[in-house]
Amino acid sequence: MKKYIKLIVLIILGVILGLVIYSKLSSNQVKLEATSTMIDQKEVQELYLANFTWNGIAEIPREKNKTTYIKYEAVIEARMDLTDINKKIEYNEETKEVYITLPKIQLVPVVRVKNGSFSYIPEDAKVDPKEAFTVCEEDAKKEATNNKELMNVAKSNAKNTIEGLLLPLIKEDNYKIVWKDGE
């Protein structure tokens, strides 16, 4: 009988010890620390801000007041020339502000044709592939430059990227970034 009592006491102590260890381990939160080290430095001239997929329809006027429509897919790349950014950054030591004017953002269409062909309306239209490509590229350029939403997303991405690069450098000295209207 004493053996059973000792065994029961040992089991109870084991359970209590297990619960204490479990509660200690589960109450501690894992703390992750990360550091970064620059290994190499490269000069970057263009910053790619976004890629937009554009599905468009271009028109090719034909004889007798007929029009051929070409359905195409293009990728609009938003880019910014970083060589201009140094000319667009100023700072004020008294107010601890860094003033940044965004350089001009370019929206560059890259026409990509899936499965090696465009879709035509009417389907039996005879269009030179080079002409179709040129017309679609011009249409994508026109649509991209007139689209304010694409430009707004590109500007927002540019600001977020620049802030992500600069804030770790200026945060320690309590500087803040002020965006100025630009191009």
- 50, exposed or middle or buried, with CB in 10 Å at 0-12, 13-18, 19+? middle
Tokens read off for 151: 């430009």
Give residue limits of the domains in the chain.
Answer: 46-180
**Closest among 48, 14, 17, 32 to 157, alpha carbons compared:** 48
**Tens-digit pLDDT string for the chain (183 aa):** 556 566 565 566 566 655 555 555 554 444 445 555 656 656 667 777 888 888 888 888 877 778 888 888 888 888 887 777 767 788 888 888 888 888 888 777 676 655 455 777 887 778 887 888 888 888 888 888 888 888 888 888 888 888 888 888 888 888 888 888 765
Sequence letter at residue 58: A
Percent of all residues in the chain with a pLDDT value above 90, rounded to a whole number = 0
- d(C-alpha 97, C-alpha 100), whole Å: 10
Pairing of strands 66-81, 105-112: antiparallel
Count other C-beta atoms under 10 Å from residue 78's C-beta. 22
**Closest among 115, 54, 106, 116 to 81, alpha carbons compared:** 106
Is the overall model pTM greater than 0.75, yes or no? no
- d(C-alpha 75, C-alpha 81), whole Å: 19
Tokens read off for 113: 């044709």
Cβ proximity of 68 and 132 under 8 Å: no
- d(C-alpha 103, C-alpha 129), whole Å: 36
